[in-house]
Amino acid sequence: MCALALGALAACSKTDAPSPASGLTVVVVDPQAPAALQLAVAACAGLQNRKVAGSVYVQSDASAPAWLTELGLNADATVGATDFLNTCVAAFPACVRYDYKNQQTLLPNILTVAAVLEAVPLDNGLTATCGTVAFDATQQFKDQNTPYLATKYVFDHYAPQTTGLAMLNPGYDDRPTDPAHPAVTRDMLPVTIDLVFAQKLFVVYLINGCTDGDPEKALLSSIVNAGNWATPLGVYGYNGTWNVAGGDLYEAQTRCLDSHNMGAIASETPNLAFFATRRAPITDANVVTQNPLESVQYDPTKTYVAFVVGDGDNIGYMMTTRHDWFRQRLTSCQAAGSACPPLTWTISPHLPRLAPDLLAWYYQQSHLSGKDYFTLPPSGHLYAYPSSLAEAEQDKFIAATQQDARILGVTGTVHWDWTDSWHDAEDHFLPKYATADGVIRGIFPVNVPYMFQAFDWWPATRFYEVLTGKDGGKVAVFRPREWRGVNNDSDPFFLSPQKMAGELGSYPPGTVTWVYMTSDGGLSLDNSFLAMAKILPPHVQLVSADTAAKLAITAGQP
């Protein structure tokens, strides 16, 4: 695998590409198996898929078989975890030895070394044996026995041989009483690790890597800004440090470092090495195609609303819950006598590279209804707070987002920003999208934290504004509106379908707006959108997000 430059694939030589698979091995792993065994299997899956493209698929939970079925893939061999590991250490005889029980907090560093050395990480308690111990972490980290010291050691010795950055929690409590000193309360999950080994990612998890004045922040800053990887840097995995009042302060990465040059690629999921290698990345437009937009002419007596299913930036969601929701949506649309109003889904811009088969599947399924559409998730190219990016990074971010939109065939993006940055977003960042040759025409904001209002200086009757660029290009920016649950009609984020339908019906005639749906408050497709769509007043017309942007631009500034 070759490294990815921002917005485009870096050039790969023939020797960089893995060999095509001649057969598919499915590894069945008991989710209750020892963590060290699961980590070793995930690492081996990455190594094998790096060597032979799309050759190993790990089946460790109930959702894993679904994608083999959806993609019409049949296993040539099905093996257990122990047998697979024994085969792996024969094929990759070098190993990294470590002590899981006593070195759990150093696992990010141990995995980085093993990935760079193309060696299998073997806990001393495993029975598998290797031909050569390429690195003995019990000895090498004897005096580098803290996350800070071990991370610094690995950075000093191995960083130039890595292709990107990942943050993977080795097992810290992610809801601690003291966020600065969380206890280790669980095992490390075997997610994203196969991708770490397939792409030789540098793994860190520094609890105070974003804390001002802490040595860990200075270290993380030196790692990110050493020039090894392009910026704004997409960070794989998830940064769950410093959970405060139920929210992870640095999950989007952008406000972590003073350099403000990071964003997240939410990718805590297995089998990315399999999906990323089994077919070439999608890098051109029109490889996947949206449904034709609805034929809708703006009518000032109507109210137009686009509903957008959120969280599509999270590839783990696209592997699991969003797959189930999409199936439910198609069943509803195909039922006899059932209406099928337009619905828009956020979808990760990294699927064209990390899982092109999944991306193609979603687009193919959308064609079955003819009424399902896609848009970029927060906040375009990366899960980030773009107005908080350093000025030098913003234009690169815009260019990468425009390219993502071309590949996905969309014209809109959901945009998250921190509550104190919306003035700057409106005046400085968002107008960058308003160019005549740009793809993005609709921007759908969500405030962070969500319970506060963005654009509170707008008149109450303004649901969007149209920004015009220097060359006459236009982009519509919408007022945020979220729907997170259905169990509290006194809370605007948790309205019942009846209450939501009534609210939409009360909007002034000519309104063009949108609603962002997230599942973290108990909302499901069935208990929200599907129920509400049946009881909307006749003057309320549901449209896709791209059509909403088109209508807003046509109608002009409200």
Quote the pLDDT of residue 64: 87
Q: Is the peptide bond before 379 cis (omega within 30 degrees of 0)?
A: yes
Region 84-103: mean pLDDT is: 97
251/485 Cα distance (integer angstroms): 22
Residue 10: its pLDDT value, please? 35
Task: Note whether 418 and 428 are within 8 A (CB).
Answer: no
DSSP string for residues in 382-444? SBS-GGGS-HHHHHHHHHHHHHHHHHHT--EEEEEEETT-HHHIIIIIGGGG--TT-S--EEE
Contact 494, 484 (CB under 8 A): yes
Q: Determine the pLDDT at residue 116.
A: 98
Separation between Cα atoms, residue 545 and residue 548, nearest integer Å: 5
pLDDT at residue 12 greater than cutoff 50: no
Three-state secondary structure call for residue 309 = strand
CA pair distance 353, 376, nearest whole angstrom: 15
Would strands 233-237 and 165-167 be described as parallel, antiparallel, or unpaired? parallel
With a cut of 70, say whether residue 147 has pLDDT above it. yes
- The owner of tokens 């990366």 is 382
pLDDT at position 9? 33
Q: Which helix (H) or strand (E) holds 5?
A: strand 4-5
Beta-ladder partners of 346: 375
Phi, psi (5° rounding) for residue 399?
-60, -40
> Which amino acid makes up residue 293?
L
pLDDT confidence of residue 20: 60
d(CA 28, CA 165): 28
Comparing 6-20, 145-159, 451-465, the range with the smallest average pLDDT is 6-20
Average pLDDT over residues 310-314: 96
Q: What number of residues does the chain have? A: 558
d(CA 92, CA 109): 20
8 Å CB contact between 360 and 312: no
Name 516's bridge partners.
308, 482
Collect contacts of 10-17 with beta carbons under 8 A, ≥24 apart: 17/53
11 pLDDT more than 90: no
pLDDT above 90: percentage of residues in the chain: 92
162 has pLDDT over 70: yes
On the question of pLDDT at 50 being above 50, the answer is yes
Residue 197 has pLDDT above 90, yes or no: yes
DSSP secondary structure of 363-392: HHHHHHHS-EEEEB-TTSSSBS-GGGS-HH
Using the 8-state DSSP alphabet, how is residue 496 labeled? -
Q: In 3D, which of 409, 103, 384 has the Cα closest to residue 398?
A: 384
The Cβ-side half-sphere exposure at 383, using a 13 Å CA radius, reads: 24
Give me the pLDDT at residue 424, please: 95
Q: Is residue 14 predicted with pLDDT exceeding 50?
A: no
Angstrom CA distances, 114 to 109, 177, 205, stand at 9, 33, 16
How much is the mean pLDDT over the chain? 94
Asked if residue 356 has pLDDT above 60, the reply is: yes
pLDDT tens-digit readout, 400-441? 999 999 999 999 999 999 999 999 999 999 999 999 999 999
pLDDT exceeds 60 at position 17: no
Do residues 74 and 24 lie in contact, with contact meaning Cβ atoms separated by under 8 Å? yes
Q: What is the pLDDT of residue 4?
A: 38
- Per DSSP, the three-state class of 255 is coil
Domains of the chain: 4-277 (no CATH), 304-555 (3.20.20.490)
Cis peptide before 508 (omega within 30 of 0): no
Strand-pair partners of 77:
25
Instruction: Give pLDDT tens digits for 217-242.
Output: 999 999 999 999 999 999 999 999 99
Backbone angles phi, psi at 36, to 5 degrees: -60, -35
> pLDDT digits over 361-382, tens only?
999 999 999 999 999 999 999 9
- Rounded to whole angstroms, what are the CA distances from 5 to 77, 325, 404? 36, 33, 13
Strands 412-418 and 372-375, by their bridges, are unpaired
